[in-house]
């Protein structure tokens, strides 16, 4: 029997939000405090300028905070970069690494993503490691091979102390309104689970696998019912408390 996995719903605010956006966090926290509370782990990854304030605003609520990226080094002459230790100091519990926008816009390699994940683990953070194919790769029939290569190169060998999260994000579905079929999602998530089990044995059975491609209130319930989908990495819908709460409720 498959191990029971607590769902995780993480909001990626990307380059959106100023101090005024924290009102949505307070609104969401109030909604999550109703009844018995959420049946999943809830994380918001705001811009770095808001991380400390959001962490404090969410303290004592059902919301945890996370960073959107980190540098692989502990410190040094890296102007404009932020280390995993700095994120932890600002209250983060998680950090996204290897998001498709970082891989594409900043030419991040699998090796760099792995080093960032290792830095996150060393700082006591849980890395959310992103993998996914482009539309051309999907049409070319190599989506499975692309994701397998990214997993092999991006996931550290050692992570048992804090654990890791894998987010599958079909790049062609991010921000486009397009969504893979339920069968496509199931096939990819089953494949990712199989690869984790082959590489990590029992440890691979407990890894949360998130779906991260245009998840919205309208499609969240159907996607989250899929076996081996253990939550979502949510973009635009996480900016509004009502929309994000609907997705969390579906989980």
Q: Annotated catalytic residue: which of 101, 108, 118, 169?
A: 169
Count of CB atoms within 10 A of residue 35's CB? Answer: 7
CA dihedral for 108, 122, 51, 229, sign (positive or negative) = positive
CA distance 125 to 127: 6
Which of 71, 99, 189, 245 is an active site residue? 99
Q: How far apart are CA 89 and CA 239, in angstroms?
A: 24
- The answer to whether 129 and 164 have CB atoms below 8 angstroms apart is yes
Is residue 99 part of the annotated active site? The answer reads yes
95: helix, coil or strand?
Answer: strand
Query: 98: closest CA among 149, 52, 159?
Result: 149
* 169 part of the active site: yes
How are the residues of the chain apportioned to helix, strand and coil, as percentages rounded to the nearest 5?
Answer: 45, 15, 40
Q: What is the DSSP letter of 128?
A: E
Specify whether the backbone of 128 is left (phi greater than 0), alpha (psi in -120 to 50) or beta.
beta
Which positions ≥6 away from 29 have C-beta within 8 Å?
A: 57, 58, 61, 62, 63
List, by residue number, the catalytic residues. 99, 169
């Amino acid at each position: 029997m498959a191990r029971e996995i607590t769902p995780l719903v993480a909001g990626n605010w990307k380059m959106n939000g100023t101090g005024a956006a924290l009102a949505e966090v307070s609104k969401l926290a109030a909604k999550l405090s109703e009844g018995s509370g959420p049946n999943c782990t809830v994380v918001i990854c705001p811009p770095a300028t808001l991380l400390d304030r959001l962490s404090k605003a969410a303290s004592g609520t059902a919301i945890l905070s996370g960073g959107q990226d980190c540098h692989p080094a502990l410190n040094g002459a890296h102007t404009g970069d932020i280390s995993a230790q700095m994120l932890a100091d600002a209250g983060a519990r998680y950090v996204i690494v290897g998001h498709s926008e970082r891989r594409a816009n900043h030419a991040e390699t699998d090796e760099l993503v792995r080093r960032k994940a290792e830095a996150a683990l060393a700082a006591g953070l849980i890395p959310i490691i992103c993998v996914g194919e482009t539309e051309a790769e999907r049409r070319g029939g190599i989506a499975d091979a692309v994701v397998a290569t990214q997993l092999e190169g991006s996931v550290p060998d050692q992570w048992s102390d804090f654990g890791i999260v894998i987010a599958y994000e079909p790049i062609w579905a991010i921000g486009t309104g397009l969504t893979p079929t339920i069968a496509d999602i199931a096939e990819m998530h089953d494949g990712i689970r199989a690869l984790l089990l082959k590489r990590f044995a029992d440890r691979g059975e407990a890894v949360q696998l998130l779906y991260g491609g245009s998840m919205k209130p309208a499609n969240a319930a159907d996607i989250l019912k899929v076996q081996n989908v253990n939550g979502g990495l949510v973009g635009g819908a996480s900016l509004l408390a009502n929309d994000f709460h609907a997705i969390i409720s579906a989980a």
